[in-house]
Amino acid sequence: MRMVDIIEEKVEGKALSDEEIRFFIDGYTKGSIPDYQASAWAMAVLFQGMTPHEIATLTDAMEHSGETMDLSAIKGIKVDKHSTGGVGDKTSLALGPLVAACGAKLAKMSGRGLGHTGGTLDKMESVPGTNVFLTPEQFIDQVNRIGIAIVGQTAEVDPADKKLYALRDVTGTVQSIPLIASSIMSKKLACGSNTILLDVKFGNGAFMKTIDDARELAKTMVQIGDDLGRDTRAILTDMNEPLGFAVGNALEVQEAIATLHGQGPRDFTELVTQAGAIMLCQAKIATSVEAGRKKIQTAMQDGSGFQKMLELFAAQGGDISYLEHPEKFPKAAYITPILAPRSGYVKAIDSLEIGLSAMRLGAGRATMRDKIDMAAGIVLQKKIGNYVEQGKPLAYAYTNKTGVEEVLTQIQAAFTLDENKVKAGPVVHEMIAL
Ligand code: URA
């Protein structure tokens, strides 16, 4: 078999055979197929697409390009969730403890933040002492003991995706639904859970700019999961404003704590409740989404979700006095109000700009080598639909840096104000399941 023939077939719009797809992934992972052929292939896929069968084969080949986690030693149904990446997206920190408090088993591998999006591992590390690197044995033992563990990758998972995603990033071939879907699903499947809930975000702060594109991506991923024998469902959620009020590591942990005490922002609480309810259905703990919502709400009201968060951090070495007394988190040296230039209703908030501004204040990384400042970030005071008077704060910027005046102006410019009343939309738009 020759790679050049496989590329030419895809250029002509033909469907590739299973053998051809496996030949490519195997050869590219091992290094016998060079980057220039892989990028030509990715460009052909970007323009010609792939059939559902090709996408399932590609995902399966990538999933098995490295180690896969065997979670069979964990008793019961293992649930997992994945967000396609948002601004202020602290969902796992509240959702994980809530579903575990309701009896689900969450063995979750998470990532770090890059660019305008944050990562769960960084947020967890804002609690001093927290260790996100457990051995597979420790990881499995912790889930069996307390129902939840959240860690970085413990195995050499999906090396094909690591190479291919890095290549796509520099060859203009990221925005292909078959390639995004197989990239995300191959990693999730390799992590070994029985069920997967995908939080597919759309809007100005998300990969997918429109709900239609998000729906197509979600359907493609749900189909792959189903074809490969996992209960996979998706929700489409709005990223046309940041999720909740807080953006930045320690600031988001504090908002997750408030949410577990039933005092979270409306949109974030709704997302966590709906996602949790679906995961409880997948775990067969709830018989309907409505019943699942009641269980999640109870775990917020009776404190069992927060207790589970304490157990999670304590098991991973975190100093839980920070969770019990959030005023202990170090404060940024400079906390600056961003004032409304005129009175009006907030019509839009550019999440991408807020995410990038938080990164520039120190909360995120421009490259994987950058260090992050746990105390930095942005706390919104107004969300879409709120009224603000001229000269009153739209947000506060938290930073330990000086010379960030331009960033403060960018945060102000991220808000669009209108003299007419604006109605806030829902955060969760649709659920997609087969
Ligand atoms: N996230 C991924 O993991 N892969 C993609 O291709 C895009 C987003």
pLDDT at position 183 = 94
Instruction: Output the residue whose Cα is nearest ligand 1's atom 3.
Output: 184
Could you list the active site residues? Answer: 82, 161, 168, 183, 187
Q: Residue type at 364?
A: G
- Candidates 3.30.365.10, 3.30.70.60, 3.20.20.80, 3.90.1170.30; correct CATH number of 331-418? 3.90.1170.30
Report the C-alpha gap between 101 and 116 in whole angstroms: 31
Q: In what order do the strands lie in the sheet with 231-238?
A: 148-151, 105-109, 78-83, 195-202, 231-238, 428-432
Ligand 1, atom nearest to 168 Cα: 6
> Hey, which bits of 240-289 come out as E strands?
246-247
pLDDT of residue 153: 77
Mean pLDDT by 10 residues, the chain (434 residues): 98 98 97 96 98 95 94 95 93 98 95 82 96 94 97 85 91 93 94 95 91 96 93 96 97 98 97 98 98 98 98 98 97 98 97 96 87 96 98 98 97 97 94 91
Please give the CATH superfamily to which domain 3-49 belongs: Transferase, Pyrimidine Nucleoside Phosphorylase; Chain C (1.20.970.10)
Report the C-alpha gap between 413 and 417 in whole angstroms. 10
Q: Where are the domains of the chain?
A: 3-49, 78-324, 331-418
Residue 367: the pLDDT is 79
Instruction: Report pLDDT for 116.
Output: 81
Q: Which fold, 78-324?
A: Pyrimidine Nucleoside Phosphorylase; Chain A, domain 2 (3.40.1030)
**Ligand 1 near 220 CB (within 6 A):** no
Give me the pLDDT at residue 111, please. 84
pLDDT at site 176: 93
Residue 154: predicted pLDDT: 66
Burial class (CB in 10 A: 0-12, 13-18, 19+), 34: exposed
Cα(185) to centroid(ligand 1), Å: 9
User: Looking at residue 115, what is its pLDDT?
Assistant: 78
Cα 82 from Cα 186, distance rounded (Å): 12
- Beta carbons of 84 and 235 less than 8 angstroms apart: no
Sign of the torsion formed by the C-alpha atoms of 255, 110, 227 and 236: positive
Q: How far apart are CA 432 and CA 181, in angstroms?
A: 15
Identify the pLDDT of residue 252.
97
Q: In this structure, are strands 387-388 and 377-380 parallel, antiparallel, or unpaired? A: unpaired
What SS3 state is found at 219? helix
What sign results for the dihedral spanned by CA atoms 148, 153, 154, 155?
Answer: positive
Q: How confident is the model at residue 155, as a pLDDT?
A: 63
Does ligand 1 have an atom closer than 6 angstroms to the CB of 164?
no
- Rounded Cα distance between 73 and 129, Å, is 27
